[in-house]
Chains A and B, each alone.
Chain A
Amino acid sequence: MRELINIIFTAQFLHSVFRVTTPILFASLGAVIANRAGVANIALEGIMLISAFFGVFGSAATGSALGGFLIALLSGLICSGILALFTLYYRANVILGGIAINSLASGGTVFLLYLFTGDKGSSTSVASKTLPEIAIPVLKDIPFLGDILSGQNIMTYLAFIMILIVAVFLGKTTLGYHIRAVGENLKAAESVGINVKLTQTIALLLSGLLCACGGAFMSMGYLSSFTRDMVSGRGWIAVAAEAIGRSNPIITAGASIAFGFFNAISTAASTVGWASSLVQTIPYVSTLIGLFAFSYKEYLKLKKR
């Protein structure tokens, strides 16, 4: 235990918290936008996985990390577009649509991986690029703090900037207003001539883009290759974070960071020799505890009546 606590207070560990939080943060902000528009997007996991795959192969094909990133974004956009098409325009149940994308992602990426590389496990044989890490001038020279905050992947910075962007987008822009209006009272929005389907479609597409950022980071930053089911539940943790944050981007981001922290702890704990199968449960157990604490608070509120 002492060993673990010692690790927690190292710059290296705190640095990793930001790194680990990044994909969860992207996806949970995506969930916030979709949910604010009244669409429960549970395809976060699948969209992340698909864009992780296309990021790797896109960067290999174009020979540039930026090209890979753009192709990852495009794949996320297409996935969420398909989800929007089927659920908003063809009236399929949005949960079923989400499940379909998730299953398609986990099977489909392995299929494509095998098709291109002959390997069912990972893309290490593909010469893919990674997104750059950025050293921030001045900050990087500050001891400890610099070690934590500087030198992160560009996507990590983007993710944290996104918190603010999403908050401002929802709170201050006309489109943000319309998204919130549609989510709160669809008929009211409709009655003033807001195009409900279009607004929800835009929200889903934005949600898909954010997930794609998370996915691209997974295979082009967090790791430098694609491995099967590499998202491993981060999309679901993002769903939980969004629920705890009750669609508020700031609180949701807080919950995501908390989950990122526990995720990092589980990695740290395995390095000090804790049983790895037990350690791997930490992020999930913390999700459960988080959800339980959240719902217990709600329960107490109800009981007060």
Chain B
Amino acid sequence: MEYLLRMENVSKIYGNGIVANKDVSFSLKEGEIHALVGENGAGKTTLMKILFGMEKPSSGKLYLRDKELDINSSNDAIKHGIGMVHQHFMLLDSFTVAQNITLGIEPANHHFVDENAAVAFTEQLSTQYNFAVDPRAVTGTLPVGIKQKIEILKALARGAKILILDEPTAVLTPQETEQLFEELVKLKKQGYTIVFISHKIKEIKAISDRVTIMRAGCSEGVFNTSEISEQEISNKIVGWKIDTSIHKKEHAFGEARISVTDLSYYGGEKVPILQDINFQVKSGMIMGIAGVQGNGQVELAEILTKSRRVESGSVEINQADIQSMTIKEMREKGFGYIPEDRQRQGVALTAAVNENLISNKYDTEEFCNKGILKKKKISEYARQMIAEYSVKCSGENGRIDGLSGGNMQKVVVARECMEETKVLIAEQPTRGVDIGAAHIIHQNIVKLRDNGCAVLLFSADMAELIKLSDVLAVMYEGRFVAYYENLSDITEEELGLYMLGIKKQDESQIRRMRYE
């Protein structure tokens, strides 16, 4: 028996005719870390959902230790020792860690949950696998890195021998990622088999033994990781040779477009969420903001976009105080915003692609005549944008929720990055977006910058920040702890130390953000 698990000629065709997997074969050797890579919509997650019993394959067979497997639900998969950690955590925020880990398998005494036994069980589990978690902590209050550990422990608690991790590093800092990798290697040594879904090629090279590459629902083959180069993986993922380098125009920065002075924010809490925030973003400049999730970045972006109020200090955009303006007035002066949560804030899910493309300019003379929309003009414009950003969709009239995440994000970027855009706030513009789409988004943000737009970029992706930013600041516990005017010799590791609050630059360097 060479393989622990085999999936043979698996296809998945949805009711609406969309082909998610086409004749895919996939195999796992016992005790390996197997990377599954591909762009968004390449069918990685669908394939793993089939393995985990969440989707039924249209055709194809599954074998575990050469015995045919019949999996109809996640419960069946769990019984066969298959566990999955989903990209979006399946945790109950109001429950404690122990309650989450034992959910569905609670130790009970005549139908009453034995809370102490659950805590003891969790403690035993966390020492056994060397994952430090506090069993009594309320899950919702914990950072993502810990939540992920809880998810892994949850799978292990249910007897998983095969662990499927769906994009586990998407939300982690470099240090957290490194720690996760150490833990995964330890699990591997204990005989666990791990499937690692990702589209970060560096990580795949670092951790996996073998790699299966998927593109457009098909498998492009399986390789020993040591025998394939990063460039080769990347080419196979996109299907053609891709150059993701970015060229920025050398120029002097212009006048300040975003000025934040002495901004502090409590938001009803006793501890400040933001404290003494001072910075300026100038015309033609991209300022990157790095930081572990939950250190005030979201609140800062929400203040700048007026969904939270300025408590103290001042925020000026295009030299005008934002408190005296409505969002509409700000937008009329060339303000663009790419929100973090594209499904909730970025698009109107049930509206069409063309409607989403003009939602910030539907009432301009270009698209509207005395209250009546100019349908033709709108369609023309939408088609032009779809071509320019190579948005994959059935047509400009199709609903946007039929698009993959990456293509949806392209629509948001196309809408927000206009010629008139003078200030752009971009939050995680390429989160969960594949290489090809991310490159298009990067190019357009840089194009805006080259044309004199001021860009404030929030990102959890270090490589993206270093690649795009002209200047870079790190946030920790609501303050700036580092500021770089020259990015040429920053390393991700060094940034990580600032992000975790282990290092801090002295005040004089941070004060430079104010008067540059």
- For the complex formed, measure the closest distance between the CB of B232 and the CB atoms of chain A, giving whole angstroms: 35
**Complex Cα spacing A304 to B105, Å:** 41
**Chain B 74-100 per-residue mask, 1 if CB under 8 angstroms from chain A, else 0:** 110010000010100111111100010
A192 touches B (CB below 8 Å): yes
Of B90, B104, B105, B268, most buried by chain A (CB within 10 Å of CB) is B104
Taking CB atoms and an 8 Å cut-off, the chain A residues in 145-188 that contact chain B are 172-175, 177-178, 180-181, 184-185, 187-188
Q: A305–B267 contact, CB under 8 A?
A: yes
Partner of B104, one of A172, A192, A304, A305: A192
Q: A174–B111 contact, CB under 8 A?
A: yes
Residue of B whose beta carbon sits closest to that of A195? B75
B154 touches A (CB below 8 Å): yes
**Complex Cα spacing A173 to B99, Å:** 12
Partner of B90, one of A180, A191, A301, A304: A191
**Chain A 285-305 per-residue mask, 1 if CB under 8 angstroms from chain B, else 0:** 000000000000000010011
B178 touches A (CB below 8 Å): no
Q: B308–A173 contact, CB under 8 A?
A: no
- For the complex formed, measure the closest distance between the CB of A37 and the CB atoms of chain B, giving whole angstroms: 13
**Chain A 122-139 per-residue mask, 1 if CB under 8 angstroms from chain B, else 0:** 000000000000000000
Q: B112–A177 contact, CB under 8 A?
A: no
Taking CB atoms and an 8 Å cut-off, the chain A residues in 183-233 that contact chain B are 184-185, 187-194
Q: A188–B92 contact, CB under 8 A?
A: yes
**Complex Cα spacing A180 to B113, Å:** 13
**Complex Cα spacing A184 to B91, Å:** 9
**Complex Cα spacing A174 to B92, Å:** 15
**Complex Cα spacing A248 to B392, Å:** 47
Q: A185–B78 contact, CB under 8 A?
A: no
- For the complex formed, measure the closest distance between the CB of B98 and the CB atoms of chain A, giving whole angstroms: 12
**Chain B 301-312 per-residue mask, 1 if CB under 8 angstroms from chain A, else 0:** 000000111000
Residues of A within 8 A of B91 (CB): 185, 188
Residues of B within 8 A of A178 (CB): 104
**Complex Cα spacing A194 to B95, Å:** 16
**Complex Cα spacing A177 to B84, Å:** 22
Q: A187–B90 contact, CB under 8 A?
A: yes
Q: B90–A174 contact, CB under 8 A?
A: no
- For the complex formed, measure the closest distance between the CB of B207 and the CB atoms of chain A, giving whole angstroms: 24
Q: A191–B112 contact, CB under 8 A?
A: no
**Complex Cα spacing A192 to B90, Å:** 9
Name the interface size band of chain B: 20 to 34
- For the complex formed, measure the closest distance between the CB of A75 and the CB atoms of chain B, giving whole angstroms: 27
Residue of A whose beta carbon sits closest to that of B78? A193
- For the complex formed, measure the closest distance between the CB of A167 and the CB atoms of chain B, giving whole angstroms: 13
Q: A304–B267 contact, CB under 8 A?
A: yes
B108 touches A (CB below 8 Å): yes
B158 touches A (CB below 8 Å): yes
Given contacts A172-B112, A174-B106, A177-B113, contact A191 B74 (CB under 8 A): yes
**Complex Cα spacing A187 to B49, Å:** 13
Q: B103–A189 contact, CB under 8 A?
A: yes
Given contacts A177-B113, A192-B104, contact A304 B268 (CB under 8 A): yes
Q: B74–A193 contact, CB under 8 A?
A: yes
Residues of A within 8 A of B86 (CB): 191
- For the complex formed, measure the closest distance between the CB of B511 and the CB atoms of chain A, giving whole angstroms: 29
Residues of B within 8 A of A177 (CB): 99, 103, 106, 113
Residues of B within 8 A of A172 (CB): 112-113
- For the complex formed, measure the closest distance between the CB of A267 and the CB atoms of chain B, giving whole angstroms: 40
Residues of B within 8 A of A191 (CB): 74, 84, 86, 90
Residues of B within 8 A of A189 (CB): 92, 103-104
Q: B268–A305 contact, CB under 8 A?
A: yes
Residues of B within 8 A of A174 (CB): 106, 108, 111-113
- For the complex formed, measure the closest distance between the CB of A32 and the CB atoms of chain B, giving whole angstroms: 15
- For the complex formed, measure the closest distance between the CB of B343 and the CB atoms of chain A, giving whole angstroms: 15
- At the interface, is chain A mostly helix, strand, loop or mixed? helix
Residues of B within 8 A of A193 (CB): 73-75, 78, 104
Partner of B103, one of A194, A301, A305: A194
Partner of A192, one of B93, B94, B103: B103
**Chain B 46-81 per-residue mask, 1 if CB under 8 angstroms from chain A, else 0:** 000000000000000000000000000111001000
**Chain A 2-19 per-residue mask, 1 if CB under 8 angstroms from chain B, else 0:** 000000000000000000
Q: A181–B111 contact, CB under 8 A?
A: no
**Complex Cα spacing A191 to B150, Å:** 14
Residues of B within 8 A of A180 (CB): 92, 94-95
Residues of A within 8 A of B92 (CB): 180-181, 184-185, 188-189
Of B99, B111, B309, most buried by chain A (CB within 10 Å of CB) is B111
**Complex Cα spacing A177 to B111, Å:** 10
Q: A301–B268 contact, CB under 8 A?
A: yes
Residue of B whose beta carbon sits closest to that of A190? B74
Given contacts A172-B112, A193-B74, contact A181 B103 (CB under 8 A): yes
Q: A184–B74 contact, CB under 8 A?
A: no
Residue of A whose beta carbon sits closest to that of B267? A305
Residues of A within 8 A of B84 (CB): 191
**Complex Cα spacing A296 to B295, Å:** 30
**Complex Cα spacing A254 to B148, Å:** 39
**Complex Cα spacing A301 to B308, Å:** 12
**Chain B 421-446 per-residue mask, 1 if CB under 8 angstroms from chain A, else 0:** 00000000000000000000000000
Residue of A whose beta carbon sits closest to that of B75? A193
Q: A184–B94 contact, CB under 8 A?
A: yes
Residue of B whose beta carbon sits closest to that of A305? B308
Given contacts A304-B267, A305-B309, contact A188 B106 (CB under 8 A): no
- For the complex formed, measure the closest distance between the CB of A186 and the CB atoms of chain B, giving whole angstroms: 10
- For the complex formed, measure the closest distance between the CB of B364 and the CB atoms of chain A, giving whole angstroms: 31
Residues of A within 8 A of B111 (CB): 173-175
**Complex Cα spacing A192 to B112, Å:** 19
**Complex Cα spacing A188 to B112, Å:** 21
Residues of A within 8 A of B93 (CB): 184-185
Q: B154–A192 contact, CB under 8 A?
A: yes
**Complex Cα spacing A301 to B154, Å:** 35
Residues of A within 8 A of B106 (CB): 174, 177
**Complex Cα spacing A194 to B106, Å:** 11
**Complex Cα spacing A204 to B302, Å:** 40
- For the complex formed, measure the closest distance between the CB of B294 and the CB atoms of chain A, giving whole angstroms: 16
Residues of B within 8 A of A181 (CB): 92, 95, 103
**Complex Cα spacing A187 to B91, Å:** 9
- For the complex formed, measure the closest distance between the CB of A166 and the CB atoms of chain B, giving whole angstroms: 15
Q: Can you list 29 A-B contacts with CB-CB less than 8 angstroms, sorted by A residue number?
A: A172-B112, A173-B108, A174-B111, A174-B112, A175-B111, A177-B103, A177-B113, A180-B95, A184-B92, A185-B91, A185-B92, A185-B93, A188-B89, A188-B90, A189-B104, A190-B74, A191-B84, A191-B86, A191-B90, A192-B90, A192-B103, A192-B104, A192-B154, A192-B158, A193-B75, A194-B103, A194-B104, A304-B267, A304-B268
Q: In the complex, given contacts A173-B108, A188-B90, A305-B308, what are 9 additional A-B residue pairs having Cβ atoms less than 8 angstroms apart? A: A172-B113, A174-B112, A177-B113, A185-B92, A191-B74, A192-B103, A192-B105, A193-B73, A304-B268
Top 3 nearest A-B pairs (CB, nearest first) are A192-B104, A188-B90, A193-B75
